[in-house]
Each structure stands twice: as C-alpha cells, then as structure tokens.
Chain A
Amino acid sequence: MEGLTPIVKKVAQLMSGIIFVYGIYIVVHGHLTPGGAFAGGIILAGAFILLILAFGSEVIRLKKEETGSSITESLSILLTLILAIGGLFIGTKVFFNNYLPKGEVGELISAGLIPIYNILIGIEVAAAIITIFLALVIFKEEEEER
C-alpha cells in the first residue's frame, strides 16, 4: 500500500496525536462524562487507521503490527476476566464485585474498579478494530501479489 501526497501526510501527522489524546481522555473519564470504553477505544483505533491510510506500509511491517495488536487484545480481555473473577474471592463473593474503595463521587480516582475495567476494555476495543483493519489490508496486498 503506497502513501498519499505530502499535504495529507503532514495533516495526518499533526492530527493523529490530538485524536489519540482525545481517545485517552474519553476512556479515562468514562465514569464521569459521556463516553466510555467502547467509544474511546474506537477513537484510539481511528488515530492508527488514519496514520496507516496516509503513510502506507509494507506487508511485512503490517504483519508485525497485526501480531502485536492481536496479542494486546487477548491479554487485555484476559486481565478483565481475572479482575472480575477476583470478585469471587474478596468481599461479598459475587462475580463482578466492585471490591476496591469507592471514594468520592465525581473525583477522577473513584468508583473502585470501574475506571480499570474501562481502560482495559478501551485497549481491547482499539486493538480489535486495528486487527480487523490490518487483516483486510493484508488480505488485499497478498491477493495483488498473486
């Protein structure tokens, strides 16, 4: 996949960082403002997709990235499950028990486990969307090589 013109490349370079930080904001403030893990995760994936579309890449480098993103996705959903199963052993022994102290409503560090779940699922959603996109791009490249 070849890249686009220098104008598009420069604009993508400038914008993708801002989009990435906005995605992190949406994920981290998920328990305070509208948004959350799913919306923020897809915005994070959008920053990467913008860069890949603008700059283009070779198949070998894309394959490396695909391996990394699919491992990240699997690890983050595994961590979520481990944290949820932890609720079976601590406190009132219920699946998905919120066993950390709740803190004050409205603070950034509050609500116990909810922000941690949000961050983990945000990473999972972003990695899953990037994996799907990369799989489509690699499929097309390999078909053209034939």
Chain B
Amino acid sequence: MEVLLSVILGFMIIGAIYALHANDLLSAVIAQGIVGYGLVICFLHLKAPDLAIVQIVVETITLIIMVAVVLDSSRKEIKEKPGFKGTINIIAGLIFIGFLIYFFYMAINPLDTFGEHALRMSETYVEQGAQKTGAANLVTGVLWDFRGYDTLGEATILFTAALGILSVLRLKGKK
C-alpha cells in the first residue's frame, strides 16, 4: 500500500517540478493537473471517496479556468539568470528547507505508525455516529452535527471569496 502511494507521490513531485521549469505556460498548467489528479488516486486508495469526489471536481473546474486565463495571456515565460541577490535568496531557501525537514522529522517521530491511530474521540464517532446523527454517511454526519460550526466557517469562506472577487474585478464604479 505504501509502495503505490510513494510511486504516485513521486509522479506528483515530478509533475510539480516540470510545471516550474516548462517554457510554455499552457504545458505548465497541464503538468500541474498531474498533482491534482494524482491526489485523487491517493484519496481513493486511502478509502476516502468523499474527498476524492470534491478533489476531482474542483481540480477540473480550476483547470478549465486556468487554461482560459493562460490562452488569453502571453503564454511564454520570461527567464532570467539569478544575480547576486538571487543567489543569496536560493541559499537561504535551501537552509530553510533543511531546517523544516529536520523539525518535521522531530515532530512526526513520536506519532503512531501510518494507519494505526489511537484516538478515543474518533472511536466513539465511528461506533455511535449513525445512531446519534441519523445519517448513514458518517462524513456528512460529522460535518453537519459534531463539527457544524467548522462547516459553517467553510461555507462562509466561499461567500467571502465571491464578495472579494466582485469588489476587486470591476472597471466601472457603481454610483
């Protein structure tokens, strides 16, 4: 199981690196699609169909919008060699990545092995979720009953995003 996940993650990393170095912006956008659809396969493999459906739909819609934007713009990326300042930035970035990996390793060391969790809360949810919420799909039961406040916040984020885009993307002012 972990072997297949590692292979898909490797493909996703290759796609992301290619997206950074592609000359044509359209191929960069399509290479970015590898990351999203690879994540869909990962979710399906980890038995999370709810997340997989959301991910595949959002990925497709954003890919359509990104392709439309790229076809309208210049498409060619402008490349420059990094100067003195750029070199310092790259070195600082590499040092920071090293620190992050070290602390991430320190943080995940005391956790249980992958797939074996020991949380009292989640066991109660899984056993009694159907009786307490009345929903056959446990994910929806948790989203709208145990964690209703969270989900309201999520819906408000979309509302705020639409508000922000409506107020920023306007050429003619309203009277």
Contacts and interface: CB of A to CB of B under 8 A. Distances in A.
Contact of B137 (A32, A81, A98, A133): A32
A115 to B, nearest CB: 9
B57 A105 contact: no
A131 B169 contact: no
Nearest to B160: A128
A115 B140 CA distance: 9
Interface string B61-73: 1001100010010
B94 interface: no
B159 A111 contact: no
A49 interface: yes
Q: Is the interface of B mostly helix, strand, loop or mixed?
A: helix
Interface in A5-47: 26, 30-39, 42-43, 45-46
Contacts of B98: none
Contacts of B165: 131-132, 135-136
Given A77-B155, A125-B155, A132-B162, A34 B53 contact: yes
A47 B140 CA distance: 24
Contacts of A125: 155, 158
B156 A46 contact: no
A70 B162 contact: yes
B140 A131 contact: no
Interface residues of B, number: 42
Nearest to A114: B144
A79 B135 CA distance: 21
A93 interface: no
B143 A36 contact: yes
Interface string A93-108: 0011010001101100
Contacts of A133: 65
B148 A96 contact: yes
A142 B173 CA distance: 12
B155 A114 contact: no
B53 A35 contact: yes
A124 B134 contact: no
B58 A111 contact: no
18 contacts: A26-B53, A31-B136, A31-B137, A34-B50, A34-B137, A35-B53, A36-B143, A49-B61, A70-B166, A84-B152, A96-B149, A102-B133, A102-B134, A114-B141, A117-B148, A121-B155, A125-B155, A132-B165
Interface of B: 49-50, 53-54, 57-58, 60-61, 64-65, 69, 72, 130-131, 133-137, 139-141, 143-145, 148-149, 151-152, 154-156, 158-159, 161-162, 165-166, 169-172
